Amino acid sequence: MGQCIYGYISRILWGMPAVFMIVKYSENVSIDKIKLFSYPKFDKTLVTVLILSMCYVIVSMFWVHKGFFFNDDEILGLVIIKFMLVGFVEEMVFRGWGYNALVKNTTHIKATFITTILFVILHWPAYFIKFFRFGIFDFAGIIGQSIAALIWGIIFCRLLQKGKSIWNPIIAHTLYDLAYALLVG
């Protein structure tokens, strides 16, 4: 339980500067805070991403577990809160502030590239910590995670660009992470 509380608090503290920057310096971003925090737009892009990501999770579940699987090692309420926080914080930092500020001063492609590379790198420390703690480096895991983060980083930027609401990438990010953790493990 202490690890969960630490995880929640650290993610909230990590995301607060991005929220502050968006609110305080709204004139320095492409999508202002009013639009950015408006209701999600369940447009064709978001619905397509949600459907395809759930199909991917289901295929992955059957591939890995050879049938239906539900990860009952996780406490459902805690894992839901965890992935809601992860989706919210990572999207606020990388798309809400990072992409949103960069795209005002550069092209959509450059802003997407920069924030996506940073998003990929964010996912590496766990592999190095595992290596330093246990002497095991999961090369396949870091490559797979990097490819997934690269693809998702591009998709999340596109969702923000099309929907003009940070809630679109937050919803997609949270649902994918949650479904993957619960159905694939």
**Tens-digit pLDDT profile for residues 103-131:** 999 999 999 999 999 999 999 988 988 89
The CA-based angle 45-163-84, given to 5 degrees, is 90
pTM for this model (two decimals): 0.90
Count Cβ atoms within 10 A of the Cβ of residue 51 and give its class: 0-12 exposed, 13-18 middle, 19 or more buried: exposed
| pLDDT digits 0-9 by tens, 43-90 | 999 999 999 999 999 999 999 999 999 998 888 888 898 899 999 999
